[in-house]
A and B are shown apart, each in its own frame.
Chain A
Amino acid sequence: MLPNSTRGRTKIRPPRKILSSEVDVEKSWAVLQKAIEEIQHKNASKLSFEELYRNAYNLVLRKHGKLLYDRVEGQIRKCLSEQVRLGLLNKLASSGIDDRQFLQALNKEWEDHLLSMRMISDVLMYLDRVYAKESHLPLIYDVGLNAFRDSVIKYNNNEIGDKIITIIIDYLNRSRLGEIVDKFIIKAVIYMFESLTEVVNIDISSVSGSANYGENYYLHYFEPRLMLSSHEYFEDKSIELLDQRSGVIYIEKVTQLIQDEESRIQMYLPDVSAPKMLELMDNDLISRNLESIMMFETDGLKLWINDDNYTLLQLLFKLITRVDSEHEMLKRRLRSIILENGEEINQLSNEQLEQEVTQKKQEEEKKRIIAEAHGKKLVVRHRSSKEQATRYAIRWIHNFLSLKRKYDLVAEKSFDNNIGILEEIDAAFSTFFNSNNKSAEYLSLFIDDCIRRSLKDKSSDEVEQTLNNCIVVFRFIKDKDVFEKYYKNHLAKRLLQQKSLSSEIEMNMITKLKQEIGSSFTARLEGMFRDIKLSQELSSDFNNRFARQDVGETDAGAEIRQKNHGRKLELDSSILTTSFWPMPINKSMHSIQYPDELQVLKDQYEVFYDIKHRGRNLTWAPNFGTVDIRIHYPKKTYEVNMATLAAVVILKCFNDSEDLRNKHTFEEIQGITQIPVPELKRHLQSISVASRSRLLKKTPMSRDICAGDLFEINEHFKSPQTRIKVLTVASGSKVEDDLQRSETMEIINKSRIMETEAAVVRIMKARRELKHQELINEVIKQLLNRFKPQPSFIKQRIEDLIEKEYLKRDEKDRSIYQYLA
């Protein structure tokens, strides 16, 4: 722009040079120095702010900021070091002044200092605003705080500071002992410590003028001492408590202690220290000791759980939560205690059983005495060892359930139902449950017992409850296929012998299992159920048609009747689908020679069934059936229910009315009936040895059936009842002995092989090509519901399948399998 273009326009006036164009630095400073002294002696009210501000302003404006800044700092330091500090030292030295008075004097000096600093920095506002900020120096107020730190507190190797710290820590310790201390002075001094910043190696003034950042005297000097003394205190306290060797006392006292300390922290200490103190305390009082305390034998976690001491357990839980949100130490302890409890269950179940037995013995002994007194002879029936074992199994599951319930309650009432802990409890239960290799069988037996007997006359709620409990136990079973195997056996027996209390309960149980694990698991169980139902319909249909006596009797029916000496003859059949049921087809039963009466029924039924279901094969399993026959003894006629095979013996060999005194040797009977030897022995035993059902007389009269024994009708047979049931040895569901078990396991193992191979083929068919590890993982995933296969087991199966040419290895990468269609 050309100079003349501005002609005629108003110029902006430059500011006038004020009064003297050159400031007299020394004069101005003298005014300010005097004023600072006056302020420090609380004589400010006579001073003119404007005059002081103006002097400072002019000094700064004329670029004497640095000089002013430095001199002000010097002036402040001089006052603090020469007057305040010496004054305080005098107080410390004088005997008439106690700690509290000293702290109060200190606090007074501090507050006075803050006040005068506030005034000084107000007057020097312009210095702050222009010089300090531009030069990145602390504001005057902070200069004052730093001066207090250096010239009073930390002067002479932290002389006064050390003294103060010692006093405060002493106060805190006294407060821990219950003494009431002046909390205001403590707070005030700590606040002062916090206000004193420590020089950090960075340029902080550019950040803000506030003093509350980073390191300060409190953090640097006080806190470490506080931590140390607190640590000593906690340690002493915990040793003192540990000496009492009582977990209850420790936990209660520590809980109290922590509460007290927390309120103390809140009352005296700044927020920065709180987390550190809490951590220290938690570490000293909880983390270090609590696990060993839980392990106290006389007064530890195990006992508290045993006593259902929910309150204490809750305290314990809360303490542990403080130090570890995962509660690892509690979990560890719980786990080992639960495993111990598992051992105890074994023992407990035994003891209970023995008790029961002794009690029973005593009762029977009494009965016997009474009977003898009445001149009667009472045969005491002893339980077989197998029955004992079954009782044990039921007891065991029962105890298992109540233990589980106990822990559930503890978790609910004391552990906030913490998910991690619940999982740990379940895991521990699972471990000890599965460590008993009979547990799956036990559960099945337990359910068997429930459905046969113990749920009788129970309300539907109780039934529901019991069944749900069974499911709870079921969840712990690792190898579900083992359980399935037993359950099927037991269910089969119940169904065939019609021993279930109600089919509703049966169905209910199956439904629950289905909900729990899916329908593939229960398909066969349901199949069994369906079979029985269909069989009942078939039987009644058959009997309606052929057993009818009057009008409409068919030829076949007439033939049957005629064979049965004109009396009605009925057949209840159970048609079992082979694949559903656990019983193997017993070929040895094939050649049995049935008596005419049965033979005709059998023939007719086969015809009948062939009409109904053309092309299906029926295989008879007489070893599972029973027959009702009426036997005329000289004195009395009895209706006897006995196993089909026993009936075959009687009817085939001893039903020849013409030769009542017929005698047959064992071999003869075997030859006539063609019943396999072991079976025959069993049944002969039940009709010739068992005391209540000695239908036949055996010579010699020994317990065991041997070759060459002679059998004849026992003419002296006598029984109070008209209807008799011949008990076949080994009915009902009982624990398997070791031999049976290994047989069962072998069967299970075979089915596992099949299932695994099926899974492999299924997966490979879908994926065509898969890496070894992926295949293993997939298989494990698929089979998890049934059992947990070992990778080596799966690998074996894969090898087999390769051999059978279902799969082959990839030629380039041997770890890849390919599916062969």
Chain B
Amino acid sequence: MSDSDEEKTSPYVTLISNDGYSFQITREAAMISGTLRGMLNTSFQESSTNTIKMHELDSQLLEKVVEYLYYNLKYNELVDVPEFDIPTEMALELLVAADFLDV
């Protein structure tokens, strides 16, 4: 459970793409993804290492996902928001990634 190990909770988590790139993002941003939230909130391996290896995502997709997480973090409470920009050719791949991550 998330609050049982409060003291060792780092404010950052690391996401690693399948081509080896690491992205360090705030825990708050990661929590926007239902899947990541599940990984970090239950007492699995990932919650103690704060590192998640994303076997399904390459760095290009992961970067876009991270961008969205921050976008969501920033605008979630607001009403008047700019469009989130997605390169057209990436849309299908990103859709799968988003589906995987539940964002």
Q: Which A residues are closer than 8 A to B by beta carbons?
A: 10-16, 18, 44-54, 57, 118-119, 122-123, 125-126, 129
Contacts and interface: CB of A to CB of B under 8 A. Distances in A.
A44 B44 contact: yes
B26 interface: no
Given A12-B92, A49-B44, A122-B42, 9 more contacts: A12-B88, A14-B93, A15-B96, A44-B42, A44-B44, A45-B43, A48-B46, A49-B46, A53-B38
5 contacts: A13-B89, A14-B93, A44-B44, A47-B44, A57-B100
B32 interface: no
B45 A46 contact: yes
Which 9 A-B pairs give the minimum distances between C-beta atoms?
Answer: A49-B44, A49-B39, A122-B38, A15-B96, A10-B89, A15-B93, A119-B42, A48-B45, A122-B42
A267 B35 CA distance: 39
Contacts of B100: 54, 57, 126
Contact of A48 (B35, B38, B44): B44
Interface string B12-49: 00000000000000000000001100110111111110
Interface stretch (B53-61, B62-70, B75-83): B53-61
B56 A44 contact: no
A15 B38 contact: no
A48 B35 CA distance: 13
Interface residues of B, number: 27
Given A13-B90, A49-B38, A49-B39, A125 B46 contact: no
A614 to B, nearest CB: 97
Q: Tell me the dominant secondary structure on chain A's binding face.
A: helix
A18 B90 CA distance: 16
Given A13-B92, A15-B92, A118 B46 contact: no
Contacts of A49: 38-39, 42, 44-47, 52
Contacts of A45: 43-45, 48
Decide if the interface of chain B is mainly helix, strand, loop or mixed.
helix
A57 B45 CA distance: 19
Interface-central residue, B34, B38, B43, by most chain A CB under 10 Å: B38
A605 to B, nearest CB: 102
Nearest to A46: B45
Among A49, A51, A122, the most chain B Cβ lie within 10 Å of the Cβ of: A49
A48 to B, nearest CB: 5
A483 to B, nearest CB: 77
Contacts of A13: 89-90, 92-93
Contacts of A44: 42-44
Nearest to B95: A15
Nearest to B61: A15
B91 interface: yes
A53 B100 CA distance: 9
A46 to B, nearest CB: 6
Most chain A Cβ neighbours within 10 Å, of B45, B47, B93? B45
A123 B41 CA distance: 11
B92 A125 contact: no
Contacts of A48: 44-46, 53
B7 to A, nearest CB: 16
B41 A122 contact: yes
Contacts of A126: 35, 100, 102
Nearest to A118: B42
A50 B91 CA distance: 23
Nearest to A52: B44
A14 B91 CA distance: 9
Contacts of A53: 35, 38-39
A50 B55 contact: yes
Nearest to B55: A54
A125 B38 contact: yes
A146 to B, nearest CB: 21
Nearest to B87: A10
B98 to A, nearest CB: 11
B35 A119 contact: no
Contact of B38 (A46, A47, A54, A123): A123
Contacts of A18: 56
A119 B92 CA distance: 30
A129 B56 CA distance: 19
Contact of B39 (A46, A50, A57, A118): A50
B96 to A, nearest CB: 4
A11 B39 contact: no
A10 B54 CA distance: 27
Nearest to A16: B93
Contact of B102 (A14, A50, A51, A129): A129
Contact of A119 (B43, B52, B53, B88): B43
Nearest to B52: A50
Nearest to A11: B89
- Residue of B42, B45, B96 contacting most chain A CB atoms (<10 Å): B42
A50 B89 CA distance: 27
A169 B50 CA distance: 48
B34 A12 contact: no
B41 A50 contact: no
A386 to B, nearest CB: 95
B92 A14 contact: yes
A53 B39 CA distance: 9
A15 B88 CA distance: 13
A210 to B, nearest CB: 17
A56 to B, nearest CB: 11
A274 B88 CA distance: 60
Contacts of A50: 39, 46, 52-55
